[in-house]
């Protein structure tokens, strides 16, 4: 694979542009690299490898889980390598370590590693489990609603982050918070999305209109319809084919989609 | 409180040295500040406030939960303010924003926030729930064993981080991994400790001797004895009063202590 690729870039040392991601039990190594060159080289690379370059976000929506995790890892490592160049302590230029997983500061002798920021994301439901509260930001595609989410602050547990974010964004006090699952998300500098359910008896909202464009309770049936819509057309999110006036939820490959699926399954609306 | 303090430091502008942590529903604001001056000023401050300066680690072991979270928050904010000075992207000197919660890069116009790194920590038990696997590092106090822990890497879920760390450090494949709880830890740059149980039928170990000095299966009774020992003398950890040849576990205020307590309770060895 590497040899096929190297042939396309006779003047580049691809090995030195690569980062080692993992070594399987079989001994097979997995690397990531950002390839130089324009559209013609990209076309040649696609032909040589029998593959296709796609938008990284689309890849996360379309790939099987294991490959999506590898892609999330790869994207984060390349982004980190290209954006973290100076020691935040003393300002000296950092030097990459051989395997590419860390950078040293030659001046104050500290080591920098790729960072991942914890984010709490909440599937808010009413006490009777018949409705869920979804929110939309102005930057979301038309009709798209998702779960309340926000960065963990120092001093917080996952659960206290979830309670604070939900109180701040929609004015709801959660009665119960519980862990559902987690997922790495490579954008915005690398995030660990930690998904929780949050139950409340409170229905009235106090929406933070600086953060959110809208927040609304939807019935399980409305959410089921939206879930089926995006499962049938996951690329609608990327191709901007979602419609205002129609509820859309995040596609497969996102933790919000997985949390919605779990809730609909628990409601008996999707088969186990 | 602030006025009492300010009187001790006539030549310092304490407000500008402070970081706002929170504002309670009552309107009361909570600040943190690192106080200048030597031992005599510290003694005067203790007298004026009726308090006592203690080692931050000891404070986490001794304070009630809510106050420990505030202290963890405060310590992280001060540490971040004093150690993150330059833009990692372009190397320009950062400027603090007014409230002290973020810093701007005047050159590339990016914003830096305090970071928290996710760490997976595992309470490993055998299938019969009669034994638990604890490990010790060379830097631990004499006799101290704790749970396997390690930083989450990009691309990982909490669960895959736990599985990788346990496989790497003690050569165990976990059959089952489940979430137990989380806690912020302000040292080493700020960590979100995410605790999971991990169950295995495998008993044989393959210890990574570069990371660990020892790893060993202990019976629930041995761990109960160690748990009672540290509950009766939490300062043993700080005062280096732990003994080699006697099992010690991390004190109250750590997530490892809480996970051990939960397991002993589930085993019926501690009251609910």
Digit-coded pLDDT (tens) for A235-265: 888 888 888 889 999 999 999 999 999 999 9
Cβ separation of B154 and A87 shorter than 8 Å? no
Per-residue pLDDT band at A49 (split at 50, 70, 90): confident
CA distance B58 to chain A (A): 16
B258 Cβ under 8 Å from any chain A Cβ: no
Neighbouring C-beta atoms of residue A29, cutoff 10 Å: 12
Task: Give the pLDDT of residue A2.
Answer: 61
Tell whether A91 lies on the interface with B, counting CB pairs under 8 A.
yes
pLDDT on residue A1: 54
pLDDT tens-place string over residues B93-112: 999 988 788 999 999 999 99
A118–chain B Cβ distance below 8 A for any pair: yes
Q: With CB atoms and an 8 Å threshold, state whether A116 touches B112.
A: no
Distance CA B192, CA B184 (A): 5
B154 contacts on A by Cβ (under 8 Å): 72-73, 76-77, 80, 114, 116, 184, 186, 190
Percent of chain B with pLDDT over 90: 73
- Look up the CATH architecture of domain B117-266: Alpha-Beta Complex (3.90)
Mean pLDDT of chain B: 93
Report chain B residues whose CB lies below 8 A from the CB of A152.
Answer: 116, 192
Chain B from 191 to 210: CB within 8 A of any A CB = 192, 194
Asked if residue A18 lies in contact with residue A1, where contact means CB atoms within 8 angstroms, the answer is no
CA A117 to each of CA A137, A150, A186, B57: distance values in angstroms, whole numbers, following the listed order: 20, 10, 10, 24
Q: What is the mean pLDDT of residues A126-134?
A: 96
Q: Complex ipTM, two decimals?
A: 0.94
Contact A90 B88 (CB under 8 A): no
Is the model more confident about A54 or about A210?
A: A210
In the predicted model, is pLDDT for residue A40 greater than 90? no
Subunit contact B87:A88, Cβ cutoff 8 A: yes
Q: Output B234 or B107, whichever has higher pLDDT.
A: B107
For residue B1, pLDDT over 70 is answered with no
Query: What residue in A sits closest to B191 (Cα-Cα)?
Result: A154
Contact A89 B84 (CB under 8 A): yes
Q: Confidence class of residue A17 from pLDDT cuts 50, 70 and 90?
A: confident
Of B240 and A170, the one with more pLDDT? A170
What average pLDDT does range B53-71 have in this prediction? 92
Interface size, chain A vs chain B, as Cβ–Cβ contacts under 8 Å: 123
B73 and A192 within 8 Å at the Cβ level: the answer is no
Chain B CB contacts of A76 under 8 Å are 154-155
| pLDDT (average), residues B167-196 | 97
A33 pLDDT exceeds 90?
A: no
Using an 8 Å CB-CB cutoff, list chain A residues near B112.
88
Separation in Å, CA of B4 to nearest CA in chain A: 26
| CB of B65 less than 8 A from some CB of A | no
Least reliable range by pLDDT among A192-206, B26-40, B73-87:
B26-40
Task: Among A91, A155, A158, select the one facing B86 at the smallest CB separation.
Answer: A91
Choose among A118, A154, A194: nearest Cβ to B72.
A154
The residue extents of the domains of chain A are 85-115, 117-266
Residue A22 near chain B (CB below 8 Å): no
Residues A158, B194: C-beta atoms closer than 8 Å? yes
Q: By the CB < 8 Å criterion, does A268 face chain B? A: no
Q: Mark yes or no for CB contact A87/B83 under 8 Å.
A: no
Which pLDDT tens digit goes with each residue over B125-156? 999 999 999 999 999 999 999 999 999 999 99
- B87 interface with A at CB cutoff 8 Å: yes
Mutation pick from A76, A88, A152, A183 vs chain B, by most beta carbons of B within 10 Å, is: A88
Please give the average per-residue pLDDT across B24-52, as a whole number. Answer: 85
Q: Which positions ≥6 away from B104 have C-beta within 8 Å?
A: B94, B95, B97, B110, B111, B112
The model's pLDDT over A221-231, given as tens digits with 9 standing for 90+, comes to 999 999 999 99
Lowest pLDDT segment from A98-102, A183-187, B86-90:
A98-102
Is pLDDT at A38 greater than 90 in this prediction? no
Nearest CA in chain B to A179: B179
Phi and psi at residue A156, to the nearest 5°: -90, 150
Average pLDDT over residues A36-54: 84
In this structure, of A40-44, A159-163, B87-91, the range with the lowest mean pLDDT score is A40-44
Residues of A in contact with B121 (CB under 8 A): none
- Calculate the average pLDDT of chain A: 93
Q: What percent of chain A has pLDDT over 90?
A: 73
Confidence of residue B38 (pLDDT cuts 50, 70, 90): confident
């Amino acid at each position: 694979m590497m040899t096929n690729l190297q042939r396309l870039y006779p003047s580049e040392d691809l090995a030195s542009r690569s980062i080692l991601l993992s070594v399987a039990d079989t001994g097979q190594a997995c690397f990531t690299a950002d390839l130089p060159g324009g559209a013609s080289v990209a076309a040649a690379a696609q032909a040589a490898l029998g593959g296709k370059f796609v938008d990284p976000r689309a890849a996360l929506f379309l790939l099987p889980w294991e490959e999506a995790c590898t892609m999330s890892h790869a994207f984060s490592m390349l982004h980190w390598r290209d954006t973290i160049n100076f020691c935040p302590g003393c300002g000296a230029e950092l030097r990459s370590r051989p395997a590419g997983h860390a950078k040293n500061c030659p001046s104050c002798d500290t080591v920098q590693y790729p960072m991942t920021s914890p984010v709490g994301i909440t599937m808010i439901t009413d006490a009777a489990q018949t409705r869920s509260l979804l929110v939309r930001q102005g930057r979301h595609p038309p009709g798209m609603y998702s779960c309340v989410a926000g960065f963990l602050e120092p001093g917080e547990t996952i659960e206290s982050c979830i309670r604070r974010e939900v109180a701040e964004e929609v004015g709801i006090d959660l009665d119960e918070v519980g862990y559902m699952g987690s997922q790495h998300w490579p954008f915005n500098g690398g995030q660990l999305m930690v998904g929780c359910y949050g139950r409340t008896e409170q229905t009235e909202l106090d929406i933070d209109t600086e953060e959110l464009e809208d927040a609304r309770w939807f019935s399980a049936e409305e959410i089921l319809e939206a879930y089926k819509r995006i499962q049938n057309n996951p690329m609608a999110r990327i191709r901007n084919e979602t419609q205002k006036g129609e509820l859309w939820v995040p596609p497969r490959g996102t933790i919000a989609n997985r949390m919605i699926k779990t809730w609909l399954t628990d409601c008996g609306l999707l088969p186990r």
